[in-house]
């Protein structure tokens, strides 16, 4: 597979927006990342995937660009989202605080450094509050210098996990006191994070919460890098996992002694728990309570898949890859 020189120094942004029921709105936001105000194509940029969850009323847009292009692409998408999504009218089953709820930037190879991603993330946060008056942001991960607090900690500090966050008590890192119209946006950078959701065949959220408590990283015997919520979802309960990449050698135990998938950033090796392990652990715990699992969904891609598909899309000049991915051959 020939890869254009434009495919070097790639980063990904898994942009989380608080809308899924109006798919035209979500696609408009995705398209804004690809084309400038005059309709010209942004070089070195592609949208690989759009994941819509109508029950949660939340979408994840996978934007990949060169480190030099990511800020303009993401800011354009964020600006469009803020113009089209009003949090005063939002209703959905997933916790959220902002029309643009989360803007994480991840390196996709050794050729992009930690500070590169942190710098671009901070520039996105500052640019959003300048372009859209009334928006505000908090920083996490590498962008949260010097403390580098993780996303789960920062969300807890901001009240993200509360059913009705108190916007008046929030002190954002950038921008004014959050307004109900736009809410609050989390912007940060770090090693790649996947989303793996496992559905269990029950409506009893307490069962889901007991499973979540057993597998999250902070629990004894929990899975490294795994942050978990148990949420009602389409008449069942979903074990919704953020799978963070953690430092270390590729020697995780998947139950069969297999190595965990790994990649390197800035000379530091990272690994992540595979979706198969998470699904197996949830099935085991649910089965112990007489509950079956009914499906597993990986939202987006693994880090390797993301890089490979982005190189493919850019080498072939495909901007709206999400529309064509089923018909594209590797």
Express each pLDDT in 301-322 by its tens digit.
999 999 999 999 999 999 999 9
Kindly report the pTM of this predicted structure. 0.93
324 token code pair: 């064509």
Fold of 5-191+303-327: Formiminotransferase-cyclodeaminase; Chain B, domain 1 (3.30.990)
**Cα distance between residue 283 and residue 78, in whole Å:** 37
Question: What is the domain partition of the chain in residue ranges?
Answer: 5-191+303-327, 193-299
Q: Name the 3-class secondary structure at 6.
A: helix
Q: Strand 185-189 to strand 193-200: parallel, antiparallel, or no bridges (unpaired)?
A: unpaired
212 token code pair: 């979540």
**Cα distance between residue 325 and residue 309, in whole Å:** 9
Judge whether 225 and 217 are in contact, CB under 8 Å.
yes
CB atoms within 10 A of CB 314: 25
Fold of 193-299: Alpha-Beta Plaits (3.30.70)
Express each pLDDT in 23-37 by its tens digit.
999 999 999 999 998
Give, rounded to a whole angstrom, the gap between the first and last alpha carbons of the chain: 8
**Cα distance between residue 178 and residue 257, in whole Å:** 47
As a residue count, the chain comes to 330
Mean pLDDT check: name the lowest of 155-164, 207-216, 228-237: 155-164
Judge whether 108 and 310 are in contact, CB under 8 Å.
yes
Task: Give me the percent of the chain exceeding a pLDDT of 70.
Answer: 93
**Cα distance between residue 265 and residue 281, in whole Å:** 28
């Amino acid at each position: 597979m020939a890869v254009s020189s434009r495919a070097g120094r790639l980063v990904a942004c898994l942009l989380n927006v608080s809308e899924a029921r109006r798919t035209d709105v979500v696609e408009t936001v995705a398209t804004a990342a690809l084309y400038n105000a005059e309709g010209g194509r942004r070089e070195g940029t592609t949208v690989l995937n759009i994941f819509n969850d109508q029950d949660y009323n939340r979408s994840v847009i996978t934007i990949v660009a060169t480190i030099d292009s990511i800020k303009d692409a993401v800011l354009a998408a964020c600006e469009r989202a803020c113009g089209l999504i009003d949090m005063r009218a939002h209703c959905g089953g997933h916790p959220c605080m902002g029309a643009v709820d989360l803007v994480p930037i991840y390196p996709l190879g050794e050729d992009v450094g930690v500070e590169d991603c942190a710098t671009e993330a901070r520039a996105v946060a500052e640019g959003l509050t300048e372009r859209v008056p009334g928006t505000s942001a908090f920083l996490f991960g590498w962008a949260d210098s010097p403390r580098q607090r993780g996303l789960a900690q920062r969300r807890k500090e901001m009240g993200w996990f509360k059913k009705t966050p108190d916007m008046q008590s929030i002190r954002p890192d950038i921008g004014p006191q959050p307004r109900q119209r736009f809410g609050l946006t989390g912007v940060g950078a770090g090693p790649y994070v996947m989303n793996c959701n496992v559905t269990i065949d029950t409506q009893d959220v307490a069962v889901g919460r007991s499973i979540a408590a057993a597998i999250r990283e902070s629990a004894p015997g929990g899975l490294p890098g795994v942050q978990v919520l148990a949420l009602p979802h389409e008449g069942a309960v979903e074990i919704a996992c953020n799978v963070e990449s953690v430092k270390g050698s590729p020697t995780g135990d998947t139950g069969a002694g297999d190595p965990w998938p790994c990649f390197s950033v800035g000379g530091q090796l990272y690994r992540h728990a595979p979706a198969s392990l998470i699904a197996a652990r949830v099935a085991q715990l649910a089965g112990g309570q007489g509950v079956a699992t009914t499906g597993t969904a990986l939202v987006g891609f693994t880090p390797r898949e993301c890089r490979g598909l982005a190189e493919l899309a850019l080498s072939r000049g495909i901007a709206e890859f999400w529309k064509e991915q089923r018909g594209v051959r590797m």
